[in-house]
A and B are shown apart, each in its own frame.
Chain A
Amino acid sequence: GNSVTQMEGPVTLSEEAFLTINCTYTATGYPSLFWYVQYPGEGLQLLLKATKADDKGSNKGFEATYRKETTSFHLEKGSVQVSDSAVYFCALSEKAAGNKLTFGGGTRVLVKP
């Protein structure tokens, strides 16, 4: 079956530091890939997505590139802010699997001023 593995947190950074959260996946077909963010006490928000190999998703200074050869979709941001403190989830969906989202375990990021 499908699965998503992402680095465990918490990740603690200072403001303006560089952030990378690693994500790798296993899928039977050709999935779409997503990063969702969950701010404290809130639901999940789509951060970015990519639907085919070499696509780069980007939003709010975050980027991730769909790497089919390494089955990876690492999230990066060049300069984090305190407001980026949240839990980040990597996820995939496949049409053959009813388009359900399969999530990684989430990575908590804490940015200190």
Chain B
Amino acid sequence: DTAVSQTPKYLVTQMGNDKSIKCEQNLGHDTMYWYKQDSKKFLKIMFSYNNKELIINETVPNRFSPKSPDKAHLNLHINSLELGDSAVYFCASSARGGPLEQYFGPGTRLTVT
């Protein structure tokens, strides 16, 4: 019944590793997003996909690569992890048209040691 789900919930890894975070939504939405929340709780958009097509790519290092196999999934792959990548990553989705509120997943807390 979870609308937007993410896995894993916690991820602890070492610098230099490559990791992926998965996101799935069962709301039938066309648009999905990735946000990063830093240690001070500041939230910033990273990427947005509409129907599997990239529409927003903020100034994110190219070590971050989103992949959308279908419109219900948006995964985030991170290469060569750095200490500064430690944060909570939130996936969200929204429908096209309407008031465009976004529905968020529970977040993935990434800790790079």
Contact = CB atoms under 8 A, between A and B. Distances in A.
| Residue picked from B41, B48, B56, B106, most chain A C-beta under 10 Å | B41
A51 B99 contact: yes
Contacts of B100: 32, 93, 95, 99
Nearest to A9: B41
Given A43-B107, A99-B31, A49 B101 contact: yes
Interface string B57-74: 010000000000000000
Interface residues on B, range: 20 to 34
Interface residues of A, number: 24
Nearest to B102: A101
Contacts of B105: 43
Given A51-B99, A105-B40, A100 B104 contact: no
B45 interface: yes
A73 interface: no
Interface string B30-55: 01010100001111110010000001
A95 B45 CA distance: 15
Contacts of A82: none
A109 to B, nearest CB: 12
Contact of B41 (A34, A93, A100, A106): A106
A45 B103 CA distance: 7
Nearest to A107: B41
A36 B41 CA distance: 13
A27 interface: no
Contact of B103 (A38, A46, A93, A95): A46
A100 B90 contact: no
Given A42-B107, A101-B45, 6 more contacts: A32-B100, A44-B90, A46-B101, A101-B92, A101-B102, A103-B42
Interface of B: 4, 31, 33, 35, 40-45, 48, 55-56, 58, 90, 92, 94, 99-107
Identify the 4 closest CB pairs spanning chains A and B, nearest first.
A103-B43, A44-B104, A100-B45, A43-B104
